[in-house]
Amino acid sequence: MTTLLKTHKIYDEFIDFIAQGTTPETMTKFQFSETTKERIEDLVYLAKSGELSLEDKKELDELLFVDHLITMIKAKAHQYIQSQSE
């Protein structure tokens, strides 16, 4: 599978979650599927062992970008939840 297709699957996983209707509370609970988590672990292992191909590096970079984006969204959701309880 090409990196582009893998990347779309990563984005689709998050987009599907949002499309189902989210609230700040549900947003804070989002997690990647076990398959995606395992893929991230595999890519990180390959990177640490110096065996990461160029295609795998691109995939890992995309995964880390999406993960960072989701982390920022979750932080904003937590801020919103806290502001509503004050």
Q: Are 66 and 11 in contact (CB under 8 A)?
A: yes
Q: Does the structure show a pLDDT above 70 at 1?
A: no
Q: How confident is residue 10, by pLDDT bands cut at 50, 70 and 90?
A: confident
Indicate if the alpha-carbon torsion angle 71, 74, 66, 1 is positive or negative.
positive
Tokens of 64: 């880390």
pLDDT per residue as tens digits for the range 37-82: 898 999 999 999 999 999 999 999 988 999 999 999 999 999 999 9
Q: Is residue 24 part of a domain?
A: no
Domain boundaries, position 45: 1-8+33-86
- Report which of 33, 38, 42 is spatially closest to residue 10, judged by C-alpha positions: 33
Per-residue pLDDT of 20-40, as tens digits, reads: 999 999 999 999 989 888 989
Asked whether residue 66 is assigned to any structural domain, the reply reads yes
pLDDT band at 7; cut points 50, 70, 90: low
**Domain total in the chain:** 1
SS3 state of residue 61? helix
Please report whether residue 13 resides in a domain: no
Taking the complete model, does pTM exceed 0.75, yes or no?
yes
The first and second tokens of residue 66, run together, are: 């999406």
- List the structure tokens of 38: 């395992």
pLDDT value, residue 51: 95
Q: Evaluate whether residue 70 is within a structural domain.
A: yes
Please state at what angle helix 54-84 crosses helix 34-48, rounded to 10 degrees. Answer: 130
